[in-house]
């Protein structure tokens, strides 16, 4: 069998990976699904040499107290490559005692960091952002291998993360450099005998838990606001995505942040997950993920929570919508990164009169999607795990049994699921309500706008939604009626740009993200009141 191998050379001005190709005969598919080998030549990115200090043989170390360490447990957690379904990386299985030590050093480091001038905090964040962009190659490679993210998208995530850190540094200086001055005589019955000064102070130790699908970007969206605000940060990365996070943390390490200020502990959630989230040393939790967040919120106690827990983002399409625009956004919103996005279009609610035309347009675009390994920058790559693929298949089987129209043949090879549009989906089908987190999209035909709004609001999720119409008045009215944290008009749901507010309601989350909102959330108000012996009036 002929197979292409490639060596990673450089990234051009646009951040695109460049390869040199060599063809040779190989025997067997080395764990790559057979359909890949039949239809594609597999590009293999040669492993970028990781800094030796973060590796111990074949296993990555965890990061604590400014050092890279092996766990005393002697155990390792394997990370499965979604494409080959074989172990690709190993990380430390940290113990509860090691978590305790991390919390102790984080508390000590935070006290000193809170006294660090704002400009100095910002300076270090800018330095980390620059290093992050310089080291985008090994981080991007990890994203390709750990979570099957297409190579070009992996590079984009790292560059975007660097931009987020820099923006956060600038925004933090502005937000935290200002306070308020209040006077007592603005409230009835008071003379001007009290001056009130308010400022924002750090919470303490922030626990950050990002998800597998954007492990780097959603980690720095928590790390940067926490640090600029004067907090210390403990990062618990997802298993799939842990190595990418460790490479990212290494960039902060190289930037020269104080020892103990940033920690990254790896391990099984079943062993240290609850221990971390219920730890008395934690003063704030920022979590992005699924149902686990609901359990965390019930156990965390009286500390601030910032949570984004998924969505069933509805796309409501009216009769007057530009169907070409709608179709393009359904493809972008529903199938990019194989639908493994909280803000992916998860259900299309289209008026019956234009449903046939829209489905036809979407099907033509689905047929053009490329399917294969992430190294080839395929549009559709393997979903993150076999359990995820099995869950998606369960939704598909249920829909078939209940009479949904399959616009494409359902096809699966290992963790790879071909894109599938399901038409004539009814509310009694699981796919109408559950979040597949895969390249399967249901279409529900509606006869009125009210029917579409009702379906959207009947969901236990409320992250985002979108409305397509040329009538801005209708769009505003429908958007206001939709019970979601964000409504996009004439565009697919999206989290960015990263400084925009991002929030969900119901089971989609608590609090609001976005750089400014995160900085504010990771601080609290401190008030100082000056009591005067007599009323004092400026220029009085």
| pLDDT at residue 12 greater than cutoff 60 | no
Task: Give the structural domain span for 109.
Answer: 47-309+515-523
Which whole number is the average pLDDT over 326-354?
A: 98
Output the pLDDT for position 538. Answer: 85
- Entry pTM: 0.89
The pair of three-digit structure tokens given for residue 200, joined into one six-digit string? 């924002």
- Percentage of residues in the chain having pLDDT higher than 90: 87
75 within a domain of the structure (yes/no): yes
Note whether 287 and 332 are same-domain residues. no
Output the pLDDT for position 367. Answer: 98
| pLDDT at residue 26 greater than cutoff 90 | no
Note whether 293 and 357 are same-domain residues. no
Rounded-to-integer distance, Cα 521 and Cα 507, Å = 19
533 within a domain of the structure (yes/no): no
9 within a domain of the structure (yes/no): no
Task: Give Cα 66 distance to the centre of its chain.
Answer: 26
29 within a domain of the structure (yes/no): no
| pLDDT at residue 172 greater than cutoff 90 | yes
In sequence order, the β-bridge partners of residue 78 are 90
Output the pLDDT for position 153. Answer: 97
How does the average pLDDT of the chain come out, rounded? 91
Which whole number is the average pLDDT over 169-186?
A: 96
99 within a domain of the structure (yes/no): yes
128's CB contacts (< 8 A; 6+ apart) are 165, 251, 252, 254, 255, 257
Among 219, 215, 233, residue whose Cα is nearest residue 102: 233
Which whole number is the average pLDDT over 455-470?
A: 98
Output the pLDDT for position 539. Answer: 84
Note whether 207 and 103 are same-domain residues. yes
CB atoms within 10 A of CB 145: 26
Note whether 293 and 330 are same-domain residues. no
How far, in Å, are 195, 279, 299, 340, 414 from residue 276 at the CA level? 41, 5, 11, 26, 34
**If DSSP states are collapsed to H, E and C, what string results for 383-434?**
CCCHHHHHHHHHHHHHHHHCCCEECCCCCEECCEECCEEEECCCCCCHHHCC
User: Is 413 within 8 Å of 396 (Cβ atoms)?
Assistant: no
Residue-wise pLDDT tens digits, 100-146: 999 999 999 999 999 999 999 999 999 999 999 999 999 999 999 99
**Given phi > 0 = left and psi -120 to 50 = alpha, else beta, which region is 484?**
beta
Output the pLDDT for position 437. Answer: 97
Q: Is residue 451 among the annotated active site residues?
A: no
Note whether 358 and 395 are same-domain residues. yes
Among 466, 454, 462, 379, residue whose Cα is nearest residue 417: 379
Which is it for strands 205-209 and 284-288: parallel, antiparallel or unpaired?
parallel
3-state secondary structure of 150: coil
| pLDDT at residue 279 greater than cutoff 80 | yes
Rounded-to-integer distance, Cα 204 and Cα 103, Å = 11
Note whether 482 and 467 are same-domain residues. yes
536 within a domain of the structure (yes/no): no
473 within a domain of the structure (yes/no): yes
Confidence tier at 37 by pLDDT (50, 70, 90): very low
Note whether 303 and 418 are same-domain residues. no
Residue-wise pLDDT tens digits, 61-89: 999 999 999 999 999 999 999 999 999 99
Active-site residue among 98, 141, 171, 308?
Answer: 308
Note whether 336 and 251 are same-domain residues. no
Least trusted range by pLDDT, from 27-31, 277-281, 354-358: 27-31
314's CB contacts (< 8 A; 6+ apart) are 346, 347, 348, 349, 452, 455, 456, 459, 465, 466, 482, 484
Which whole number is the average pLDDT over 498-507?
A: 95
| pLDDT at residue 232 greater than cutoff 90 | yes
The pair of three-digit structure tokens given for residue 80, joined into one six-digit string? 């499965």
Output the pLDDT for position 51. Answer: 63
Output the pLDDT for position 224. Answer: 98
Output the pLDDT for position 47. Answer: 36
Output the pLDDT for position 35. Answer: 35
Rounded-to-integer distance, Cα 135 and Cα 162, Å = 10
Which whole number is the average pLDDT over 496-520?
A: 95
| pLDDT at residue 41 greater than cutoff 90 | no
Note whether 294 and 197 are same-domain residues. yes
Least trusted range by pLDDT, from 25-29, 255-259, 295-299: 25-29
Note whether 290 and 383 are same-domain residues. no
Residue-wise pLDDT tens digits, 347-389: 999 999 999 999 999 999 999 999 999 999 999 999 999 999 9
Which whole number is the average pLDDT over 310-337?
A: 98
Note whether 244 and 346 are same-domain residues. no
127 within a domain of the structure (yes/no): yes
In sequence order, the β-bridge partners of residue 488 are 466
Note whether 322 and 408 are same-domain residues. yes
CATH number of the structural domain spanning residue 79: 3.40.605.10
Output the pLDDT for position 291. Answer: 87
Domain count, the chain: 2
CATH number of the structural domain spanning residue 421: 3.40.309.10
């Amino acid at each position: 069998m002929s197979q292409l191998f490639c060596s990673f050379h450089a990234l051009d001005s646009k951040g695109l990976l460049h390869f040199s190709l060599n063809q040779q005969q190989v025997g067997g598919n080395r764990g790559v699904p057979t359909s890949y080998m039949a239809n594609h030549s597999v590009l293999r990115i040669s492993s970028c040499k990781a800094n030796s200090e973060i590796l111990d043989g074949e296993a990555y170390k965890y990061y604590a107290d400014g050092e890279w360490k092996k766990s005393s447990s002697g155990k390792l957690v394997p990370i499965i490559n979604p494409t080959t379904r074989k172990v690709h990386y190993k990380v430390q299985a940290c113990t509860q005692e090691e978590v305790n030590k991390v919390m102790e050093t984080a508390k000590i480091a935070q006290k000193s960091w809170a006294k660090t001038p704002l400009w100095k905090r910002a300076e270090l964040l800018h330095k980390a952002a620059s290093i992050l962009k310089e080291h985008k190659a090994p981080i991007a490679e990890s994203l390709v291998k750990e979570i099957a993210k297409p190579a070009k998208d992996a590079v984009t995530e790292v560059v975007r993360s660097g931009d987020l850190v820099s923006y956060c540094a600038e925004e933090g200086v502005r937000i935290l450099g200002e306070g308020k001055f209040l006077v007592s005589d603005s409230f009835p019955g008071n003379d001007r005998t009290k001056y009130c000064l308010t400022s924002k102070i750090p919470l303490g130790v922030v626990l950050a838990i990002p998800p597998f699908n954007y492990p780097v970007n959603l980690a720095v969206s928590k790390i940067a606001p926490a640090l600029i605000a004067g907090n210390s940060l403990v990062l618990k990365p997802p298993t799939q995505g842990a190595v990418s996070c460790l490479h990212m943390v290494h960039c902060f390490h190289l930037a020269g942040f104080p020892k103990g200020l940033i920690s990254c502990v790896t391990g099984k959630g079943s062993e240290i997950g609850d221990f971390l989230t219920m730890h008395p040393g934690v003063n704030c939790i920022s979590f992005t993920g699924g149902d686990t967040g609901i359990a965390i919120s019930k156990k965390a106690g009286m500390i601030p929570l910032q949570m984004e827990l998924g969505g069933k983002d509805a796309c409501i399409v009216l009769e007057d919508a530009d169907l070409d625009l709608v179709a393009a956004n359904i493809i972008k919103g529903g199938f990019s990164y194989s639908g493994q996005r909280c803000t992916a279009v998860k259900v299309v609610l289209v008026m019956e009169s234009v449903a046939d035309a829209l489905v036809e347009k979407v099907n033509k675009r689905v047929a053009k999607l490329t399917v294969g390994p992430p190294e080839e920058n395929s549009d559709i790559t393997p979903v993150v795990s076999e359990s995820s693929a099995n869950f998606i298949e369960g939704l598909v089987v249920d829909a078939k049994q209940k009479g949904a129209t399959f616009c494409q043949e359902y096809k699966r090879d290992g963790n790879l699921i071909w894109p599938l549009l399901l038409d004539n989906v009814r509310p009694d089908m699981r796919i109408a309500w559950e979040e597949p987190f895969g390249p399967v999209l249901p279409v529900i035909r509606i006869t009125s706008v009210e029917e579409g709004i009702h379906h959207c609001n009947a969901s236990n999720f409320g992250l985002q939604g979108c409305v397509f119409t040329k009538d801005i008045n209708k769009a505003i009215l429908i958007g206001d009626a939709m019970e979601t944290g964000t409504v996009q008009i004439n565009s697919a749901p999206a989290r960015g740009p990263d400084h925009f507010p991002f929030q969900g309601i119901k089971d989609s989350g608590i609090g609001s993200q976005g750089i400014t909102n995160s900085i504010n959330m990771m601080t609290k108000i401190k008030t100082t009141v000056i009591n005067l012996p007599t009323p004092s009036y400026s220029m009085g």
